[in-house]
Chain A
């Protein structure tokens, strides 16, 4: 019996094999949206938990397991952004440039992150995936369960809001 078939029948060993195969990929996907290692780890477990609960409804003929997991992971990550209202953390490294003093760089980064945090979770996820991580629109669309044109609309909306918020804060991209 195939691995996916055994998983669909509720076999825990098959689930473990799938978990080990896909945990890294799911973690990386969630990390791109939440940008926090501890949260990404928790949400990876939550993603597989939802997958396990829905094992009976997994249709092997419809698509691959990776795509299904990415879809669940995206929903889990967006739910997290929606409920936790946690801010995207600042990166630890701050390379100093000759052009700007460190304090000014920090202030600018804070403004940019504040502007990103003002976006709605669904738009924020698309902006981070498309503009920061440079994921192809097709892949984002598949993971979010929307069309490519809907992804473009969200990117456009996000860019418009970000430009407005940033220019109000004195940051001109």
Chain B
């Protein structure tokens, strides 16, 4: 492909999509970052919930496990 063909396409692209390389950030994003960090700190992974649900289910259906579990604790 010839260089002028690329240059022509560049002109066409810039006509429809002007360069945004001078766009500046309009606000400080640190508060949003802090919020993200806080959310992650209290987020419990789904498998932890699944394990808890499985344990609760097992205790409901097999109450005989409770003394054994307490003994292990």
Interface residues of B, dominant DSSP: helix
Q: Does B24 contact A (CB under 8 A)?
A: yes
Q: How far is the CB of B6 from chain A (nearest CB, A)?
A: 6
> Which residues of A134-173 are within 8 A (CB) of B?
134, 155-156, 159-160, 162-163, 166, 171, 173
Interface residues on B, range: 20 to 34
Residue of A nearest to B39 (CB): A49
> Which residues of B3-62 are within 8 A (CB) of A?
5-6, 8-21, 23-30, 32-33, 36-37, 40
Give the docked Cα–Cα distance between A37 and B24 (Å): 10
Are A132 and B23 in contact (CB-based, < 8 A)? no
Are A49 and B33 in contact (CB-based, < 8 A)? yes
Q: How far is the CB of A171 from chain B (nearest CB, A)?
A: 7
Residues of B with C-beta under 8 A to A48: 33
